[in-house]
Structure 1
């Protein structure tokens, strides 16, 4: 009787193993076919500049005398489209340049280590290629770390720094080690596409037009967990640690837009207030919304930024 039960269990396990292999095979094939199909449907935008021998994609909108340079947060697969609502609010008054770092948007990938030093150097090279020498740096999330390094390296070029729920070097939990092999497997197997497909659409309730939303979805499928951004993920801990000795220059105007009630970080407001405490022109503005404040508060950000720049002149 026991032998019979054991044989039945072996058969069940065998059948489940075959089903699992077939499932993974189907997911893998569907991902390969969909990726090739979507690659043809992705519509080019912006312009390409040569940085470190590779192509970096940027967009430029508006003809204002002053320039605002937008930098994305980590994992924002298509920065130029993700910032579109904010760019539309800023561009009547400024020349707005959106940088898509390597591994993001329509930019090439790179094998160069994703250290703060390299990322900052590449952004600066892109702006040099565009002959842009004076500008305000406006960055979301982890761009707060890269931006902190940037403004100290190029103080004669940056007019002001604007943070959009920007990261702070001393925020807790950034010494975490990410399961990079798992993320890579999810991407290569096609399971990541499936997860994105069955998850809630992050753009569904936002004011992007349907065409933009579709382009964002396809570019997200293309870029999520690629080798370049996985390398950046590997360097997150060391990049945060390396920024802990840095402070914003006292004379640099700084305005930091942050979530009003950040459930993940109770000290979110004090952390940002600490960054401006020695600034001659420093301000923290709390807005009701999620981490991607520029999705829902683009008008408020643009208007408050304009007022701030008027006040400091």
Structure 2
């Protein structure tokens, strides 16, 4: 092959290579543009939905000033005794979620639902979500309402906060009721900063709306009307993974560890309504029983229910609670 032919061959090969490279670059560029457009669409849709849903939120309850911010509370019933309801972690709209139980209790008690900062319609706060701060804020809210004697009733993580609360304010709390409440010895896992940052990114980008759609189907067969379910759905989107809830996750492990040193005051009436068959541990019942072994008035009631037993078994809880209080007056 002559030199000229070799050069022509190299030229043709170089041309083919350039064509292939150009095609690959176009494909890669198209893919990048498509990804950027998709990310932009997800972000914009999330912003639009947030603004739209914000206008659909229906106010409920009343605000009380706590640490210079607004904390939302609802009050229903005219009984002589007051029951203060505290939510489990991440409950988007506590006052709406507790509605079946409120309806069962309010004919006999003055029922107060406190929505901590970052929950329901309450403001966000810059303070760390340590047990100390959360308990102090709840107490300040009750003081602002001039409520100084009450029964504390808490779901899930509020079992940890409630344990601290009854030790700090023993002259105010007349009894504690746990609704499948957490116990210090069965601690939640420690979350890494990278996991928290990933969730923050998902929230900011709008992907949390796309990937983690709120499951409101759980309310369908329960005593919640369509309007209430829709409001819960909107507030799920509003409050899901907000800064306060993420900060609470970061403090969860340390909050549990701190509670390991605490016990209920022996003379404080304590009753736990818990699920009979916990899906993740066989220590659920024994650890609750251990927590009240020194209580003069302690009881554990088992229910064939899931973790959110107050939604499905509100009548049984209210009746069992009233009977317990009559026996211990």
TM range (shorter): over 0.9
2:144 counterpart of 1:107:
no
* Unpaired segments ≥5 residues, structure 2: 1-12
The residue matched to 1:21 in structure 2 has which SS? helix
Greater mean alpha carbon deviation, residues 92-101 or residues 198-207: 198-207
2:142 counterpart of 1:140:
no
TM-score of the pair, normalised by structure 1: 0.95
* C-alpha displacement of 1:8: 5.7
CA contact (8 A) 1:85 1:295 kept: yes
Q: Which residue of 2 aligns with 1:78?
A: 93
What root-mean-square deviation, in Å, do the aligned CA atoms of Structure 1 and Structure 2 show?
1.8
2:49 counterpart of 1:27:
no
- For 2:157 and 2:121, the matched residues in 1 are separated by 20
- Are residues 138 and 200 of structure 1, via their aligned partners in 2, closer, same or farther at CA, if it must alter by over 3 Å? closer
* C-alpha displacement of 1:217: 0.7
- For 2:268 and 2:304, the matched residues in 1 are separated by 26
The structure that has the greater radius of gyration is 2
- For 1:121 and 1:60, the matched residues in 2 are separated by 20
Aligned pair count? 313
1:275 pairs with one of 282, 288, 291: 291
1:183 pairs with one of 192, 199, 211: 199
Q: Which residue of 2 aligns with 1:295?
A: 311
The residue matched to 1:133 in structure 2 has which SS? coil
- For 1:299 and 1:88, the matched residues in 2 are separated by 9
1:221-260 equivalence runs, <5 A:
221-260=237-276
- For 1:30 and 1:176, the matched residues in 2 are separated by 29
1:13-162 equivalence runs, <5 A:
13-162=28-177
The residue matched to 1:43 in structure 2 has which SS? coil
- For 1:248 and 1:221, the matched residues in 2 are separated by 36
- For 2:326 and 2:246, the matched residues in 1 are separated by 40
TM-score of the pair, normalised by structure 2: 0.90
Q: Which residue of 2 aligns with 1:195?
A: 211
The residue matched to 1:285 in structure 2 has which SS? strand
- Are residues 310 and 198 of structure 1, via their aligned partners in 2, closer, same or farther at CA, if it must alter by over 3 Å? closer
* Unpaired segments ≥5 residues, structure 1: none
Deviation by residue 1:244-285 (Cα, 9 ceiling, x = unmatched) = 100001000000111111011221001101111110000111
